[in-house]
A = this chain, B = another copy of it.
Amino acid sequence: MIIQKTTQPRIHNFDPKNFTFGNDFIDHMLICEYENGKWGEPKIMPYGPLGFTPAMMGINYGQACFEGMKAYKDKNGDVFLFRPEKNFKRINKSAKRLAMPEISEEIFMEGLKALVDIDRDWVPYGEGTSLYLRPLIFATEEALKARIATKYMFAIVATPVKNYYSEPISVKIADYYSRSASGGVGSAKAAGNYAAAFYPTKLANEEGYEQIIWTDDNTHEYFEESGTMNVFVRINDTIYTPPVSEKILDGVTRDSFIQLAKHNNIEVKDEPISVKLVLEAHSKGELKEVWGVGTAVVTNVFKALGYKDKKYNLPDLKEEESFSLKLKKQLVGIQTNEAEDPFGWRIKVEKKY
């Protein structure tokens, strides 16, 4: 690994008490180029622009996938990653579906740890704060032909983030637009999946909903995901979440919630959730909670579901009654080294560089 440290660090201008989400980048980034059938030597270098023309294939034909993960700082100043091996496996699953070269575990893991180590001062400490890490692979070859590219870049960029307390939101159950096709790329973190969701989400916003619960494109009868998150439903004291599939992302937070729920002796059913089931439970007063989970905000609690011009309000549970908030608290405790980690999820980033 080549390490070229910046001579003009910006860390001193960064105020960890006062910053906005996703716009401040840490001093360094990792890049690694793929050419002639193999990955080259990874390089940590100052964050900044690289030279790409508008003929770059990644931007023309969408061969681009990414991961979202975080590093956390504890009260002693130690820095931790959370289940990074899940992100490593998933970026390669995404890459394969988009006919892109897979990255080696060594480049991904050692690159990730070195970058976080070198820029450890950028990892904020304090409730709801973390360093958001964005590994991505994209086609860099310049050619105007719709075919598999021969040149790629693996990169990791990162930005400090702060999750302000997020108010419960209203979500609309999709009855026309869809985010993924059967036999499509829904389970990949493919760049194109996100852009495809923006316009329907904008329309939902105009109707007063913050997000969409995506349903299957064929019948719109089954829940798939919620916004860019996996979705959970609690009916009485049982939690339901749609099984992962080629259409549904195998979320790290989703899997962690399932394991934590079981650890708490909460029944979890990993099975299709129909709109009908949810609305019937609502009418019987058995629908307790619906929420989304994902790396970026951990949990989005829903206060209302919209479906075909009707709005269904959800109970306003107290924190101690809520499964979503209980599980979120436990998860964040593990991530930030404030609680025991019976699962072995937390990985300390050693000081090396």
Q: Is the Cβ of B138 less than 8 Å from the Cβ of A196?
A: no
Q: Name the B residues within 8 Å of A58 (CB-CB).
A: 59, 191
Assuming A99-B195, A180-B181, is B51 touching A202 (CB within 8 A)? no
Q: Name the B residues within 8 Å of A59 (CB-CB).
A: 58-59, 64, 136, 138, 191
Q: Name the B residues within 8 Å of A25 (CB-CB).
A: 53, 55, 142
A29 at the interface (CB under 8 A from B): yes
Q: Is the Cβ of B192 less than 8 Å from the Cβ of A60?
A: no
The stretch that binds B, out of A42-50, A103-111, A120-128, A324-332, is A42-50
Q: Which residue of chain B lies nearest to A182 when distances are taken between CB atoms in the complex? A: B217
Q: Is the Cβ of A195 less than 8 Å from the Cβ of B53?
A: no
- Quick one: which of B31, B192, B194 contacts A54, CB cutoff 8 A? B31
Q: How far is the CA of A185 from the CA of B177 in the complex (A)?
A: 9
The stretch that binds B, out of A1-9, A145-153, A276-284, is A145-153
A61 at the interface (CB under 8 A from B): yes
Q: Name the B residues within 8 Å of A185 (CB-CB).
A: 192, 195-196
Q: Is the Cβ of A218 less than 8 Å from the Cβ of B182?
A: yes
Q: Is the Cβ of B53 less than 8 Å from the Cβ of A50?
A: yes
A98 at the interface (CB under 8 A from B): yes
Q: Name the B residues within 8 Å of A99 (CB-CB).
A: 195, 198-199, 202
Q: Which residue of chain B lies nearest to A51 when distances are taken between CB atoms in the complex? A: B49
Q: Is the Cβ of B178 less than 8 Å from the Cβ of A182?
A: yes
Q: Is the Cβ of B136 less than 8 Å from the Cβ of A60?
A: yes
A21 at the interface (CB under 8 A from B): yes
Task: Give 9 new A-B contacts, CB below 8 A, not counting A62-B196, A68-B144, A146-B228.
Answer: A47-B53, A49-B53, A54-B136, A60-B136, A60-B191, A64-B195, A99-B199, A145-B296, A177-B184
Q: Which 4 A-B pairs give the minimum distances between C-beta atoms?
A: A192-B192, A49-B51, A62-B191, A181-B181
**Can you offer 30 A-B residue contacts whose CB atoms are under 8 A?**
A22-B143, A25-B55, A29-B53, A49-B52, A49-B53, A54-B157, A58-B59, A59-B64, A59-B136, A59-B191, A60-B66, A61-B195, A63-B195, A96-B199, A98-B199, A99-B195, A99-B198, A145-B296, A147-B198, A148-B202, A174-B183, A178-B181, A179-B184, A180-B184, A181-B182, A190-B192, A190-B196, A191-B191, A192-B192, A192-B195
